[in-house]
Amino acid sequence: MSQLAPEITDVHAIVDEVWRSFLGEAEPLLARPVPAGTPFDSAAVWSASVSVTGGWQGTVTVEVDERVAAELTRQMLGVPDTADEDVADAVGELVNMVGGNVKSLMPGPSTLSLPSVAAGRAAFASESVEVARLDALWAGQPVRVTVHTAAQ
Amino acid sequence: MKILIADDSRVMRQIVIRTLRQAGHGGHDIVEAENGRQALELIQTESPDLVLSDWNMPEMTGIDCLDTLRAAGSQVPFGFVTSEGSEEMRARATASGAMFLIAKPFTPEAFDEALRPVLGSVG
């Protein structure tokens, strides 16, 4: 059975809009072809995810290089220095926005969880299936957004 | 005017404050709450003229906060700033008595359009 999934073009449009709203147009997010199954290729990563439960069940995950996370946080807060708690807040807000917009595309009614954030790359349970993935580069550093659902 | 901003993310509260300024609605007194329950308490003690609230928060959600306020007879102007902008969420917000729902990500223009009826035009 095929998994109900958001269109990748919609996911791309959401991420692009969220990205531009925080980081402006000066440094665009560039799509990047990465073969399926390739682990996120960054030595130091922040990751965050939200889950949607109800009419559609899925998890939206964002992984960014720590330099991207730090810059995102500086831009969001408008401050030169960032503490871990600020980065966690900023990356969590990023996935909340992407996840909330993905939820709006899918059949409802459903509930969006609060974000969970970690310093480290995301790992997924064996029963989860990747149904959409966006790999990109921002200022030369990797960014990944994935959508997973449970296997049917 | 006094504006209460309820969001569990400090980053988001800062962004809302900055966007208010960019939208030409700077200079108001700002009160911050980290969740719906704290917002309820601060609405009683601070009597804000407007509440801008996230939907999804720990302790008490924004919609539960609004429902509690209206059940208690409070008619404080209340708007959502949330990542969930579906028709279903908008309908639920309106049914509970919200004035508007601003979907994240947002622009200063979207803020001005939503807030002008409450705060008046400026500048």
pLDDT for residue A100: 96
Q: Collect all residues of chain A within an 8 Å Cβ-Cβ radius of residue B62.
A: none
Establish whether the linkage from the previous residue to B108 is cis, with ω within 30° of 0.
no
Cross-chain residue pair A114–B14, CB shorter than 8 Å: no
In a domain, B38, yes or no: yes
What average pLDDT does this structure show over A113-133?
94
The number of beta carbons lying within 10 Å of the beta carbon of residue A152 is 8
Q: Collect all residues of chain A within an 8 Å Cβ-Cβ radius of residue B105.
A: 17-18, 20-22, 97
Tell me, what's the ipTM? Answer: 0.88
Alpha helices in B23-104 (DSSP H): 36-46, 62-71, 87-96
Q: Token match 């569990």: residue? A: B8
Give the global pTM.
Answer: 0.92
Q: How far is B87 from chain A (nearest CA, A)?
A: 8
**DSSP states along A58-105:** EEEEEEEEHHHHHHHHHHHHT-S---HHHHHHHHHHHHHHHHHHHHHH
Q: Looking at the domain that runs over A8-33+46-150, which CATH code has it been given?
A: 3.40.1550.10
Q: What is the mean pLDDT of chain A?
A: 92
pLDDT for residue A1: 45
Residue B90's domain spans which residues?
A: 2-117
Q: What is the mean pLDDT of chain B?
A: 94
Cα–Cα separations (whole angstroms), residue A107 to A6, A15, A52, A104, B27 = 10, 20, 11, 8, 41
Res B123 pLDDT > 50? no
Cross-chain residue pair B14–A78, CB shorter than 8 Å: yes
pLDDT for residue A2: 58
In a domain, B93, yes or no: yes
Res B92 pLDDT > 70? yes
Domain count, chain B: 1
In a domain, B49, yes or no: yes
What average pLDDT does this structure show over A66-71?
95
CATH, residue B110? 3.40.50.2300
How many whole angstroms separate alpha carbon A101 and alpha carbon A21? 14
Residues of A with CB under 8 A from a CB of B: 17-18, 20-22, 73, 76-78, 86, 89-90, 92-93, 96-101, 103-104, 108-109, 112-114
Span B12-41, pLDDT tens digits:
999 999 999 999 999 999 999 999 999 999
Span A77-118, pLDDT tens digits:
888 888 999 999 999 999 999 999 999 999 989 999 999 999
- Give the total residue count for chain B: 123
In a domain, B122, yes or no: no
In a domain, B17, yes or no: yes
The token pair that represents B7 in the structure block: 């969001």
Q: Token match 């030369």: residue? A: A140
Question: Cβ(A138)–Cβ(A19) under 8 Å?
Answer: yes
Residue type, A23: L
